[in-house]
Amino acid sequence: MGASVPERASTNEAGVECDVVVVGAGFGGLYSLHKMREIGMAVRGIEAAPDVGGTWYWNRYPGARCDVPSLFYSYSWSPELRREWRWTNRYAGQEEILAYARFAADRLDLRRLIQFDTRVAGATFDEKSERWIVETDRGDRLRARFVIMATGGLSVPNTPDIPGVADFTGAIYHTARWPQEPVDFEGKRVGIIGTGSSGVQVIPMIAKAASQLVVFQRTPNFSVPARNRPLTDADHKSFDEGLETYLASLEQSDFGRVPPTAFTAEVPPRDVQWARYEQLWQEGGSGGFLKAFPNILVHPDVNEVCADFVRQKIRETVKNPKTAEVLSPSGYPFGVKRLCVDTDYFDTYNRSNVDLVNLREEPIERITASGVDTASRHFELDALVFATGFDAVTGALLAVDIQGRGGATLKDAWSEGPRTYLGLTVAGFPNLFTITGPGSPSVIGNVITNCEYHVDWIAECLTHMRRHNLATIEPDGEAQIAWGRHVAEVADRTLFPKANSWYLGVNIPGKPRVFMPYIGEGYRTTCKAIVEDGYRGFRFGSPTRALGEAGK
């Protein structure tokens, strides 16, 4: 699967010339490639991995599973793909999702457009030619009118800088960079740092194999059962029957996390809430909880009842009361750190080979050759797993040296937090698009449909530009400031900023504390209205050369 020359892009001694470079071949990148080709652009994709799949290529730890139901975590735009693919489980595992990405890439004949095993190092906007010069770690140089950053919101692993890690003589793993071949933990003493979604999924799996598993927990997380199960014919039939309504709902509604009614809704009585949560607990999955009541993520009194409910479940499940207490989240609201979805997570702490270490009481002091030293104990380990998450939402964008007008860098432009217009474009960086960028719903809800929406928006925009012979698009500084203010105001009216989550970037030392996703309803309606209003807030540049001409 090496490099290949994309259709209609041309190569000369100056490098590859094309209309659009797409960075990343996850779900956002694959659909971008397809859509750009469909509207007649010469497009080339660059992907760091040797295969498609994005985050699902790398996150292959045991138990890795999506928390959005599989029937919905699929491309909604293609009836063919839907007909030819049949999900086996309510929540798809990593292997099946990766197989789906491969299937989509093959079925849409996208691989020939992608250069694998190649990382984009820099992208510089040349104002004279109005082209992006994209450079890779393999020395490639591409010139393109547009760059689409489909680099994903959860793709750059975060590995905390714990003293002594280089001294450890055992094996070290990160959930987000798991080896290709299965890891054998049989009979091993394993330590794991991190109890977010990845930790919550992998801990029960490792516990089954390891002789001893030590979980180093800094913050306990809220987690609800997945109740994963094989999908039946009846499930598929019911999905098919509801398909039209679902597709229409994607068009019409916006899937923001916080509905407009949230701010005026009444506080439901405790017993009414409790009964609803019990029902949702039995059904499994996170979606129902996060929408159980319109104000659950806004009103502290409603939220606290749900938090109590989950703590009660933890106490009922975990036999050792002290362990149950340490596992019980408190001091921050329910659902505003990403809600974990698990299979037997809390029950795993009833196993005799699993120990929980509360890092709030005994922090890790250093990693040694043979294990981990906390403030009060030494743990002998054969392997250490980092389930410590990602430099989320902005990490992959800032990992590329992006320079816009006047040589201004994205890094400087975002030094106090990301600034975008609609999470799609950045002032001073013409013709650069960010799929699920900060300031858009991005990592909230169903990321595949969020990606699709952005790709469709970009395709419509490029078609408009071609029709009107426009060379560049970029947001107006004022429009960008107003959008940023709106994104922050919506978040500030909710409980989201009250937890130290990766949504705010606080998991990365030195990262500005800014709430990155857009959680209001009405995102799609707003984007649509802006287009209908003549691309309000955007500035177009006049033509130098017609679009779709590269390589001819």
Task: Please give the sequence-ordered ranges of beta strands (E in DSSP) within 200-327, or none if there are none.
Answer: 212-217, 223-225
* 345 contributes a contact to ligand NA7 by CB under 6 A: no
* 60 contributes a contact to ligand NA7 by CB under 6 A: no
Please choose, from the candidates 343, 480, 292, the residue with its C-alpha nearest in 3D space to the C-alpha of residue 404. 480
Which residues in 103-132 contact ligand NA7 (CB under 6 A)? none
Tokens of 123: 């992208």
* 507 contributes a contact to ligand NA7 by CB under 6 A: yes
Q: Binder to ligand NA7 among 136, 388, 403, 480 (CB under 6 A)?
A: 388
Alpha-carbon distance of 441 to 503, in angstroms, equals 11
Q: Which stretch binds ligand NA7 (CB under 6 A): 74-82, 133-141, 196-204, 376-384?
A: 196-204
* 502 contributes a contact to ligand NA7 by CB under 6 A: yes
CA dihedral (116, 503, 286, 486) positive or negative: negative
Binding string, residues 406-445; x marks residues near ligand NA7 by CB under 6 A: ----------------------------------------
* 155 contributes a contact to ligand NA7 by CB under 6 A: no
What are the C-alpha distances in Å from 434 to residues 46, 290, 452, 483?
A: 15, 27, 12, 15
Phi and psi at 7, nearest 5°, equal: -55, 135
* 159 contributes a contact to ligand NA7 by CB under 6 A: no
* 358 contributes a contact to ligand NA7 by CB under 6 A: no
What is the bridge-based pairing of β-strands 15-23 and 141-149?
parallel
Q: Which stretch binds ligand NA7 (CB under 6 A): 188-196, 375-383, 432-440, 536-544?
A: 188-196
Containing 122, the helix (H) or strand (E) segment is strand 120-126
Q: Which is nearer to ligand NA7, 178 or 523 (CB)?
A: 178
Q: Binder to ligand NA7 among 389, 423, 475, 537 (CB under 6 A)?
A: 389
Q: Binder to ligand NA7 among 131, 338, 466, 524 (CB under 6 A)?
A: 338
* 284 contributes a contact to ligand NA7 by CB under 6 A: no
Phi and psi at 489, nearest 5°, equal: -65, -40
* 164 contributes a contact to ligand NA7 by CB under 6 A: no
In SS3 terms, 151-219 reads as CCCCCCECCCCCCCHHHCCCEEEEHHHCCCCCCCCCCCEEEEECCCHHHHHHHHHHHHHCCEEEEEECC
* 504 contributes a contact to ligand NA7 by CB under 6 A: no
Q: Which is nearer to ligand NA7, 136 or 507 (CB)?
A: 507
* 306 contributes a contact to ligand NA7 by CB under 6 A: no
Q: Which stretch binds ligand NA7 (CB under 6 A): 82-90, 190-198, 240-248, 370-378?
A: 190-198
Q: Tokens 């937890």 map to which residue?
A: 499
* 372 contributes a contact to ligand NA7 by CB under 6 A: no
What are the C-alpha distances in Å from 23 to residues 105, 332, 476?
A: 15, 36, 24
Q: Which stretch binds ligand NA7 (CB under 6 A): 20-28, 93-101, 187-195, 401-409?
A: 187-195
Alpha-carbon distance of 207 to 227, in angstroms, equals 19
Tokens of 443: 């990592």
- Sequence-ordered list of residues with C-beta below 8 angstroms from that of 297, at least 6 positions apart, any chain: 257, 258, 262, 290, 303, 333, 335, 336, 494, 495, 496
* 160 contributes a contact to ligand NA7 by CB under 6 A: yes
Q: Which is nearer to ligand NA7, 438 or 537 (CB)?
A: 438
Phi and psi at 19, nearest 5°, equal: -80, -45
Q: Binder to ligand NA7 among 209, 359, 398, 413 (CB under 6 A)?
A: 359
Q: Which is nearer to ligand NA7, 154 or 465 (CB)?
A: 154
* 285 contributes a contact to ligand NA7 by CB under 6 A: no
Alpha-carbon distance of 32 to 27, in angstroms, equals 9
Q: Binder to ligand NA7 among 10, 11, 89, 219 (CB under 6 A)?
A: 219
Q: Which is nearer to ligand NA7, 275 or 375 (CB)?
A: 375
Least distance in angstroms from the C-beta of 487 to ligand NA7: 19
Length of the chain: 552
What amino acid is encoded at 186 in this protein?
E
* 498 contributes a contact to ligand NA7 by CB under 6 A: no
Q: Binder to ligand NA7 among 70, 76, 118, 195 (CB under 6 A)?
A: 195
Q: Which stretch binds ligand NA7 (CB under 6 A): 224-232, 289-297, 383-391, 481-489?
A: 383-391
Please choose, from the candidates 33, 49, 97, 62, the residue with its C-alpha nearest in 3D space to the C-alpha of residue 447. 97
* 302 contributes a contact to ligand NA7 by CB under 6 A: no
Q: Binder to ligand NA7 among 196, 204, 268, 517 (CB under 6 A)?
A: 196
Least distance in angstroms from the C-beta of 503 to ligand NA7: 9
- Please give the torsion angle defined by the CA atoms of residues 439, 442, 444 and 445, in that order, rounded to the nearest 10 degrees: 140
Alpha-carbon distance of 58 to 46, in angstroms, equals 16
Least distance in angstroms from the C-beta of 201 to ligand NA7: 8
Q: Which is nearer to ligand NA7, 177 or 485 (CB)?
A: 177
Q: Which is nearer to ligand NA7, 33 or 68 (CB)?
A: 68
* 11 contributes a contact to ligand NA7 by CB under 6 A: no
Q: Which is nearer to ligand NA7, 20 or 49 (CB)?
A: 49
Number of H helices, E strands in the chain: 17, 21
Hey, how many other C-beta atoms are within 10 angstroms of the C-beta on 471? 18
361 class by beta-carbon count within 10 Å (0-12 exposed, 13-18 middle, 19+ buried): exposed
* 194 contributes a contact to ligand NA7 by CB under 6 A: yes
* 24 contributes a contact to ligand NA7 by CB under 6 A: no
- Sequence-ordered list of residues with C-beta below 8 angstroms from that of 69, at least 6 positions apart, any chain: 90, 91, 285, 287
- Binding residues for ligand NA7, rule CB under 6 A, total 20
* 451 contributes a contact to ligand NA7 by CB under 6 A: no
Residue nearest to ligand NA7 (CB): 196
Residues that bind ligand NA7 (CB under 6 A): 154, 160, 175, 193-199, 218-219, 338, 359, 387-390, 502, 507
